[in-house]
Structure 1
Amino acid sequence: MTIKTLLPTSSFAGLTGNPWSAKADKIQSATGLLLGCFLLAHLHFESSILLGKDAFYQVVQILEGGMFSESGHGFPLVTKIFSVFILLVVILHAAVALRRFPAQLGQWRALRRHMNGINHKDSHAWFWQLVTGFILFFLAPVHIFTMITNPEIGPHLSAERVYLDNAWLLYALLLPAVVIHAMIGLYRVAIKWGFTANRTGLRKVIKFMIIYLITIGVLSLVSYLFIGAELTTPVQPYVPN
Structure 2
Amino acid sequence: MNVKSLQSHHTHYASLGSPWSAKADKVQSITGILLGCFLLAHLHFESSILLGKEAFYHVVQFLEGGMFSSTGHGFPMVTKLFSIFILIVVMLHALVALRRFPAQLGQWRALRRHMSGINHKDSHAWFWQLVTGFILFFLAPVHIFTMITNPEIGPHLSAERVYHANAWLLYALLLPAVVIHAMIGLYRVAVKWGLTANRAGLRKVAKVLIVYLISIGLLSLISYILIGRELSLPITPFVP
TM-score range for the pair, normalised by the shorter chain length = over 0.9
Q: Matches of 1:102 and 1:22 in 2, distance apart?
A: 19
What TM-score comes out, normalization by structure 1 length?
0.93
Give the match for residue 56 of structure 1.
56
Give the match for residue 7 of structure 1.
none
Q: Matches of 1:16 and 1:98 in 2, distance apart?
A: 12
Give the match for residue 140 of structure 2.
140
Gaps of 5+ in 2: 1-9
SS at match of 2:62: helix
Question: Segments of 4+ in structure 1 off by > 2 A?
Answer: 13-17
Give the match for residue 25 of structure 2.
25
Q: Matches of 1:49 and 1:152 in 2, distance apart?
A: 16
Shift of 1:93: 0.2
Q: Matches of 2:22 and 2:28 in 1, distance apart?
A: 10
Give the match for residue 163 of structure 1.
163
Aligned residues of 2:15 and 2:21 also touching (Cα < 8 A): no
Give the match for residue 3 of structure 2.
none
Q: 1:1-241 to 2 correspondence within 5 Å?
A: 14=14, 17-240=17-240
What TM-score comes out, normalization by structure 2 length?
0.94
Q: Matches of 1:133 and 1:203 in 2, distance apart?
A: 19
Relative to 1, partners in 2 of residues 1:235 and 1:116: Cα closer, same or farther, differing over 3 Å?
Answer: same
Q: Which has the larger radius of gyration?
A: 1
Relative to 1, partners in 2 of residues 1:16 and 1:78: Cα closer, same or farther, differing over 3 Å?
Answer: closer
Q: Matches of 2:71 and 2:16 in 1, distance apart?
A: 61
Equivalenced residue count is 230
The residue type equivalent to 1:150 in the other structure is N
Structure 1 residues 133-179: Cα deviation after superposition (integer angstroms, max 9, x where no partner): 00000000000000000000000000000000000000000000000
Structure 1 residues 159-205: Cα deviation after superposition (integer angstroms, max 9, x where no partner): 00000000000000000000000000000000000110100000000
Q: Tell me how large the CA RMSD over aligned residues is.
A: 1.4
Shift of 1:79: 0.1
Structure 1 residues 195-235: Cα deviation after superposition (integer angstroms, max 9, x where no partner): 10100000000000000000000000000001000001110
Q: Matches of 2:119 and 2:154 in 1, distance apart?
A: 46
Structure 1 residues 62-117: Cα deviation after superposition (integer angstroms, max 9, x where no partner): 00000000000000000000000000000000000000000112211221121011
Gaps of 5+ in 1: 1-9
Relative to 1, partners in 2 of residues 1:26 and 1:233: Cα closer, same or farther, differing over 3 Å?
Answer: same
